[in-house]
Homo-oligomer: A and B are copies of this chain.
Amino acid sequence: MQDIKFSNVKITGGYWKTRQEINSNTTLRSVYDRFKETHRFDALKCEWKESEPNMPHIYWDSDVAKWIEGAVYIQNTKCDKYIEQIIEDAIDNIIENSDENGYFNSHFLVTDKDKKFCYRDCHELYCAGHLIEAAIAYYEITGKDRFLKAMCKYADYIEKVFKEQKSAAFTTPGHPEIELALMRLYMATGIKRYADLAKYFIDEHGKHPEESIYIKSVNENYNQDDMPISQRSTAQGHCVRALYLMCGAADVAAQYNDQALKKACERFFDNIVNKRMYITGGVGSSYIGESFTIDYDLPNRTAYAETCAAISLAMFANRMLVFGPESKYADIVEKTMYNGIMSGVSLDGKSFFYENPLEIDPDFNDVDTSTKHKLRFPITQRLEVFGCSCCPPNILRFVASVAGYFYGVDRDTVYIHQYVDSKAQTNTLRIEQKTEYPKDGKVTIICDTEKKYIALRIPGWCKKFSINREYVIKNGYAFIVADGHAEISVDFEMPVRFIAANRRVHSDAGRVAVMRGPVVYCAEGIDNGADIKSVLVDLNMPYELKDGEFPLPLIETYAYRPRQTNELYYEAGDDYEKIPLTLIPYHAFANRGQTEMQVWLLRKQ
């Protein structure tokens, strides 16, 4: 199966139209301004001198590259001369300052040219990968090839150093990304050597444990160096590194029909979604090493759940569809889309979470209390820029290109993976969805195609649905005969659902998460008062949906809260008061100031 490229899809209404407008109108410029202020763009000029402040950081190129990629995507639909000039200048700087081999790295070119490819954990190939992705984006959207040519030269040099001469100080990158970028480069250029180089990096990964970089207090799986990828069965180590690596692995497995590698990808996916994933699609439970930990270890208050990790889980899940339609993959894309990714950006598009906790308890989180004795908790408010600012431009490019996750095609079938008010058009087909999904579950699909079937994903969360046509369910998709022109009405019933976690997830014991459709809800202190951690929801309580200040409806219901007492401990009895409870979409939390937040609510039982 292949995606229909996002550039062939126009989002015409609903949640994602709004988010894309904010992304274009605010996020694009805001991230640029912060990056400009923090010297990330100037660094591309390679003019920094020893003893000056603001030495270009080893990962700055990747931040700028992701911004360029996102900016180019946005320019495709909404050209802005000011932004265009920034893009052109940045690209000019990169090309002009690339060395005679095509190598570009704004840190090593100004600090120590002789130290190229000497330090496995210095993100050179990670930055190179993002530059390559940006160059492909620029080429595909604008048709201009100077950036792509420069990056091909760089990729050729990487091939020479790593694969032919093996003259680098290490075999595979400490931070993956180059693998998936090289596969994209192969698809953009048709030059098979790039795919072969990606395959080389994938095959060599985990075979050189002696090159492994141990981060202090972090385990030997940090860089996935303990075994070859094809032998892996669990998700270990640094979460984003692991997922970027597996994106490359999935691409390589598909291209080379590597069954062992494909099976490893499947095991890796299953381990995550069955044992190591927050209900929001957030992954990576621990800030120590920004990593996966062990099965069922999913603490809410100290959840790391980096925004980039949720994005990379969506990228990986989407790649798994290449092996054939299975709705569990698109389900996870959907879960991250509406929850763990979009929680990473404020509703106004300006501020970002690096980490996405599932619980906030400001009274116990605030460094300004009379004590500074605390374990480490995520911040309670989004920031405009971080020192390590990978997430903001990653959200930028994700939102700009989200439509690439909606549709797929294979020989016989057009697939609808995601339900979004949109129009897709290619040389051979035209699809239109009219829907307010996920505000409700009604979708009308109009499709003109010569393919035999239209296949609609039946969301994993959906227990009851109706389709106005005959269908056959296979791998979680409803296959409908297309007949040239089809008009299909679907209704996915979308009641409020209470979700329990496996009893091994001790952090969620006795608690339920409230969901409606794919959207996880949470309760905030600003709506519900203090001590939400102690509030009990009744699974049989009636509720109302209400349009509020958020792009998706609120849920209003009643719940129970222990009465306030002065005693620290007291005989348990009928000590509850009924209170109104307002739930908001999880991704919209922390948009109204610092307040308590709770996804997992006690269940009255």
Contact = CB atoms under 8 A, between A and B. Distances in A.
Given A373-B286, A499-B572, A602 B510 contact: yes
Given A369-B294, A510-B536, A534-B509, A499 B571 contact: yes
Contacts of A372: 217-219
25 contacts: A221-B371, A236-B370, A274-B566, A274-B567, A288-B373, A289-B373, A293-B371, A296-B363, A297-B364, A498-B571, A499-B571, A500-B569, A500-B570, A502-B567, A503-B534, A503-B561, A503-B563, A503-B565, A509-B533, A509-B602, A510-B534, A510-B536, A536-B605, A576-B605, A604-B605
A49 to B, nearest CB: 36
Interface in A317-373: 361, 363-364, 369-373
Interface of A: 217-219, 221, 234, 236, 273-275, 277, 279, 285-286, 288-289, 291-294, 296-297, 302, 361, 363-364, 369-375, 463, 497-506, 509-513, 530-531, 533-534, 536, 539, 561-572, 575-576, 602-605
A220 B370 CA distance: 9
B294 A363 contact: yes
A78 B501 CA distance: 57
A467 to B, nearest CB: 22
Among A297, A506, A568, A605, find the residue whose CB has the most chain B CB atoms closer than 10 A: A568
Among A275, A511, A534, find the residue whose CB has the most chain B CB atoms closer than 10 A: A534
A569 B536 contact: no
Nearest to A506: B533
B273 A568 contact: yes
A293 B364 CA distance: 9
Contacts of A505: 568
Nearest to A603: B572
A38 B23 CA distance: 65
Contact of A291 (B373, B463, B509, B572): B373
A505 B562 CA distance: 11
A502 B572 contact: no
A568 B499 CA distance: 10
A510 to B, nearest CB: 4
A150 B463 CA distance: 83
A509 B602 CA distance: 8
B293 A503 contact: no
A324 to B, nearest CB: 23
Among A275, A279, A294, A563, find the residue whose CB has the most chain B CB atoms closer than 10 A: A294
A569 B499 contact: yes
A568 B501 contact: yes
A34 to B, nearest CB: 30
A503 B564 contact: yes
Nearest to A285: B373
Contacts of A373: 218-219, 285-286, 288-289, 291, 293
A512 B566 CA distance: 17
Nearest to A361: B506
